[in-house]
Amino acid sequence: MVFSVVLPLLLLVTVLAAAAAGIDRALRTRDGEGLFWAGLTGFLAVLLTAAWAVSATPAGSAAVGLVVVAGALAASFWTVGRDRRRRRNRERRQLEAAVTAAATRHRDVMARWSAYELDPWLAAEHPQLLDVGAPETRNFIRALKAAEQLRPEAATAAEAAAYADAVAALEDSLRSAEEAAGGGRAA
């Protein structure tokens, strides 16, 4: 008697777990068609297994119903939770990539600017780039301060966007200062 109740219930739990795993895999790979088929197949498998379990063990039909409901709820919560974690991780990685790309561009601008400060030949060719009295150089210094202040430690999406905008303004201001200093004379 116990074996005739336990075996259908174990099979039902296995089918529920397999359906949840298939749905989770389809969500992980972002496969819409796979999600449909995994959901439909899982639903039909659970339905047919539950029908077989009820017909095989009429005395255990309440237990079968309880396993179906509890298992479906547990599988649903598990799948939704894993999908949320994946989405949060994906958003975090995208945000980190955006901040890293802006930081790389920021370093590139700083390397270009440092060349004018550290190379005497470049400084002599473009003295206006080191003259903070020149409007373009003043704008560059302001953009440099803004980008440095907006560099995020742990960024939110808004902070990352503000930093990327500040770095773009920094690039533009250096380009403008270089163009304005293009006709500079050696001292």
Task: Please write the tens of the pLDDT for every residue from 121-149.
Answer: 888 888 888 888 889 989 999 999 999 99
**Token pair 């029908």 in the structure block, residue:** 51
Q: Which one is predicted more confidently, 25 or 184?
A: 25
pLDDT digits (tens, 9 = 90+) for 60-73: 677 777 888 888 88
- Residue 169: its pLDDT value, please? 95
Q: For 30, left (φ over 0), alpha (ψ -120 to 50), or beta?
A: left
d(CA 18, CA 45): 10
